Structure 1
Amino acid sequence: MAAGATPSPRHGAFHSLRVSAVERLTDDAVALTLDVPAELREDYRFTPGQHLAMRRITAEGGEVRRTYSICSPAPRAGAGPERLTVGVRLVEGGEFSTYAHKEIAAGDVLDVMVPAGRFTLEPAGSAGHYAAIVGGSGITPVLSIASSLLAERPDARFCLVRSDRTAASTMFLEEVADLKDRYPDRFQLVTVLSREEQDAGLDSGRLDQERLAGLLPALLPVDEVAGWFLCGPFGLVQGAEQALRGLDVDRSRIHEEIFHVDEAPRAAVRADAPSDSRVTARLDGRAGTWPVQDGETLLDTVLRNRGDAPYACKGGVCGTCRAFLVRGEVRMDRNFALEEEETEAGFVLACQSHPLTDEVELDFDR
């Protein structure tokens, strides 16, 4: 590292951040704004589209982690953020979202991991036409992407197609309207309500593959869009991807982030999987080797020996536990976080990976 260079934040590092504001967006959604002290702003520098993992220690001594996307625009000129805002939608039975809605107040201090995630767009090099298809709270990272891009690049355009149940359940309604007011010639907004008729605009109903396949070419020149950002429930994202592929959009131009997945089929257990394996893991420049206990994931093995291993959802959705497979072979139960290019390059989700060889080596630092 060159003299005077700033070291990268450690993987999975948590810091205590104070809540400066709690804003109610809808009956079931709030925005939490966090103050970032000067000495931590470099650690919390983020790329639009990234998320934060938050941690709560339970009364029994366990912990609950959840990830929430940053909706704030990135500071100009690459500065570290003074504040970060995330949107939290209440999930039925959700431990952290219930806590956020009923207990968190301005002045509270939360444990917050440094930003992570690859559902991103680099505004500095992003001239051209971009588009997003989002559902519900999927607007959160796209709000950061669109606002950052339009502010940074006067030659960029952005089309947002959003689906919500009703107008009253729509998160960040005013913030999106403000984008339309500030960039009337460069920001295009299309809203679809699935359970409520609108006075103007599109008919109500779900945005499924068939509907999107007919709608998108009527809205914008599909083949000229440099990047598509799909975010929200699994069904909407899957349908949007299939519609785009049917319109001959190259997979490299499609970026996805799943916010909710119902229980999905998992990969079949192979009969030839070894009964005893060892995993070597490199994390923040230090490596160790440990035996994998029967049935546990590689992340669980690493966590038994390195409590600072990065993770959040443990469901194959957020991608926080992404690691490079240096050697060996693994089976992933499911993957809703890594794109094809990443898996082809050798990356895996440690929280979903089980060894298929006697020796497996992971590198979390890649």
Structure 2
Amino acid sequence: MFHQLRVSAVEPLTDDAVALTLAVPPELREAFRHTPGQHIALRRRTADGAEIRRTYSICAPAGPEPVVRVGIRLVEGGEFSTYAFKELAVGDTVEAMAPTGRFVLEPRAGHFAAIVGGSGITPVLSIAATLLLREPTARFTLIRSDRTVASTMFLEEVADLKDRYPDRFQLVTAVSREERQSGLPSGRLDRERLTGLLPALLPVTEIDGWYLCGPLGLVAGAERALRGLGVRRNRIHEEIFHVDEAPATAATPPPGARTPAHTTLTATLAGRSGAWPVQDGESLLETVLRARADAPYACKGGVCGTCRAYLVAGEVRMDRNFALEPEETDAGYVLACQSHPVTAEVELDFDR
């Protein structure tokens, strides 16, 4: 469900990024109280009636009074980011879903670390700030990569954490497109570089949780580096902020998979169930949307996880998955936007 929220602040972060703060009315405070690391879906309706949805992570610390502040970077050709960057002003209203997402850290004692690239800093800023504020013994190491210093989002907020918690917050920065007088040499933080760098910075296998966020290449390289250094998979948490378009063969069924000629999808959503035929080539989310406009989704690219549903019965194949952790897929959860039927009867539960 979307709610109308008023824009209370628009703050420039860089030449191509802004921080947008949305005022939460008293009756929605409970709904918009977030766990550090969660995101919200924003919706805009264009003049011709088209609907544009995008997800943005909340960068504000979590607290009893919800503060919905998101960082938005201008993307070339991006309809919503262009609108937010060039048109949105204080006093305007934006349609927003309540916070969701499982790239989270409930504050607890321990040493945690993050490897982020570009706008991947957004959820990690909320995670680190909340953790250090609530847990006096907790420590956090942030390793961030950006194109240039001028393109770095939330410079002041991260500097404030370093000043406020000098003994508990460690910051390591790298830029890929300019030389610096201090810090790491310029260049990308790829698998090879991280494999050599990380053991020199901190006790890699003793970290209680690793949080990887940013473009697919950085996250995938960081995961391979950590696994190669002996980090257990259940201590690695990932969120992708951008992936290229799916390859043309993504929808091709794997060997042995059979797509039935006629499939019926039964789905439960907001306490109501219905059954509909799956049309040729469409995803299960598209099937539901033909009958239920309130079906949850944002990116439709297998990245945000908004359309997560529990597979009650039947079998499906997913084109790709950048949102669900292995334990979630093992437990039976799928991304409806990427799922296609393998059996003649499929049942999903969006409420579970």
Q: TM-score normalized by structure 1?
A: 0.94
* 1:288 matched to 2:288: no
* 1:311 matched to 2:293: no
Q: 1:144 aligns with which of 121, 126, 142?
A: 126
C-alpha separation in 2, matches of 1:299 and 1:41: 29
Q: Offset at 1:61?
A: 0.7
C-alpha separation in 2, matches of 1:114 and 1:300: 22
C-alpha separation in 1, matches of 2:128 and 2:264: 44
Aligned to 1:175: 157
Aligned to 1:74: 62
1:319-348 alpha-carbon deviations (Å, 9 max, x no partner): 000001011000111111111111111100
- Structure 1: which amino acid aligns with 2:178? E
Q: Offset at 1:269?
A: 2.4
1:114-143 alpha-carbon deviations (Å, 9 max, x no partner): 1111000111xx210000000000000000
C-alpha separation in 1, matches of 2:302 and 2:187: 29
Q: 2:175 aligns with which of 178, 193, 202?
A: 193
Greater displacement, 240-249 / 277-286: 277-286
- Structure 2: which amino acid aligns with 1:63? E
Aligned to 1:121: 105
Runs of 4+ deviating beyond 2 Å: 267-272
Could you tell me whether the CA contact under 8 Å between 1:19 and 1:35 is conserved in 2?
Answer: yes
* 1:86 matched to 2:78: no
Q: 1:134 aligns with which of 116, 122, 128?
A: 116
SS in structure 1 of the partner of residue 276 of structure 2: strand
* 1:98 matched to 2:86: no
Could you tell me whether the CA contact under 8 Å between 1:267 and 1:334 is conserved in 2?
Answer: no
* 1:163 matched to 2:145: yes
SS in structure 2 of the partner of residue 167 of structure 1: coil
Q: 2:242 aligns with which of 260, 263, 270?
A: 260
Q: Offset at 1:29?
A: 0.4
Q: Offset at 1:272?
A: 2.2
Task: Show the 5 A alignment for 1:199-218.
Answer: 199-218=181-200
Q: Offset at 1:268?
A: 2.2
C-alpha separation in 2, matches of 1:47 and 1:201: 32
C-alpha separation in 2, matches of 1:47 and 1:267: 34
Could you tell me whether the CA contact under 8 Å between 1:55 and 1:111 is conserved in 2?
Answer: yes
SS in structure 1 of the partner of residue 240 of structure 2: strand
SS in structure 1 of the partner of residue 140 of structure 2: strand
C-alpha separation in 2, matches of 1:172 and 1:138: 11
SS in structure 1 of the partner of residue 150 of structure 2: helix
Aligned to 1:56: 44
* 1:352 matched to 2:323: no
- Structure 1: which amino acid aligns with 2:323? A
Aligned to 1:107: 91
RMSD: 0.9
**What stretches of structure 2 of length at least 5 have no aligned partner?**
none
Q: Report how many residues are paired.
A: 348
C-alpha separation in 1, matches of 2:271 and 2:137: 41
Aligned to 1:302: 288
- Structure 1: which amino acid aligns with 2:203? P
* 1:45 matched to 2:29: no
1:124-179 alpha-carbon deviations (Å, 9 max, x no partner): xx210000000000000000000000001001000000000000000000000000
Could you tell me whether the CA contact under 8 Å between 1:267 and 1:331 is conserved in 2?
Answer: no
Q: Offset at 1:85?
A: 0.3
- Structure 2: which amino acid aligns with 1:89? R
Q: TM-score normalized by structure 2?
A: 0.98
Could you tell me whether the CA contact under 8 Å between 1:180 and 1:187 is conserved in 2?
Answer: yes
Q: Offset at 1:267?
A: 4.7
* 1:23 matched to 2:11: yes
User: Identity rate of aligned residues, in percent?
Assistant: 75
**What stretches of structure 1 of length at least 5 have no aligned partner?**
1-12
